[in-house]
Amino acid sequence: MRHTQLFCMKRVGILTSGGDCSGLNAVIAATVKTGLGLGYEFIGFEFGWEGVLSPLQYRPLTRDGIRGISYTGGTILKTTNRGRFGGKVGEGGVRMVPTEVLEEAKRNLAELDVHALVVIGGDGSLASALQLARIGVNLVGVPKTIDNDLCATDRTFGYSTAVEVVVESLDRIHTTAASHNRIFIVETMGRNAGWIAVRSGVAGGADAILLPEFPFAVPDLVEFLRYRQREFGSSVVVVAEGARIKQRLVARDLGRGEVLLGGVAYELLREIEVIAPNEFDVRCTVLGHVQRGGSPNPADRILAKAYGVEAMHMVHRGEFGRMVAYDSQKMVSVPIEAAVGQLKLVTESTMEYVVARELGVFVH
């Protein structure tokens, strides 16, 4: 039975903030479709939080405007992880958004007659959203990160697709490694948490998996690679971009507490060569942003749509200052604080980690 518009038309704003990932458009489409049936209208703010600030950047979101977008990658609303609304610094740190910026956003939303705002973002975007909610803006959060490191939710959309991309790459790299008796170091995304690396590494048959949660010593890895070289002739090493070599993070300081990660694979190659000069034939592959792009796989499409449907129902029920969470095969509502207070990390009891250890993978 179709819902009829029994209520006055209330306006809901939607924005996507932070890095893009597969499934964002599916969340947008599901939110709008659900809300239209409940009697709401929609506008989408472009380029994340910047679209809510002056000069305003927004567009109407209609049924025709969101038709056919669920299977596409990226976000039709554009996004940015830079700007005046940055609310996260590194691992667990929170930057306070200036009061005048928060007040400007609140004022602009009021002038546009926005009843509620749906914010689709990761820990940084949701940390900012929480500050806006605390000054009286009706707001619902949707967790978004391919790193799968947000607390209070079992899984985030985009993660499954990213893992699938890495596994396909590993399948291809294994054949080249074996053909040439080479060692391949494959760098994945994962700033503070190694979920992509550990899950794709186990699924893709990696021989070593290096994670941010477990600092490692290069000499130990070299000894393992020597064993592999004697017994099998080739090895594939998966390393998350935030992996720490002897407690040292390979990163470039961008100022304001921000760092640009990446390059750990090449740093690892250099250190291996210092310890074992000319002993191995080593190559590096940095997968980078291919993990973010492209169409979401079926699991992420379904998950993203479920997030969008529940986000709209939370708006309709007036459950503001809260986030949609996936818990034990169902969607629930949790305080945003529960998601941004700390990161969800890989531990020694994580299923994939345990499996890797049991299978003889060098996992650190």
Q: Catalytic residue numbers? A: 147
Could you give phi then psi for residue 163, rounded to 5 degrees? -60, -40
Q: CA–CA separation, 132 vs 41, rounded Å?
A: 22
Q: CA–CA separation, 109 vs 163, rounded Å?
A: 37
Please tell me whether residue 261 adopts helix, strand or coil conformation: strand
The secondary structure of residue 241, as a DSSP letter, is T
**What does the chain come to in residues?**
364
Q: Could you tell me whether strands 330-335 and 322-327 are parallel, antiparallel, or unpaired per DSSP bridges?
A: antiparallel
DSSP letters for 25-70: HHHHHHHHHHHHHTTEEEEEESSGGGGGSSSP-EEEE-TTTTTT-T
Amino acid at 234: S
Q: CA–CA separation, 79 vs 102, rounded Å?
A: 19
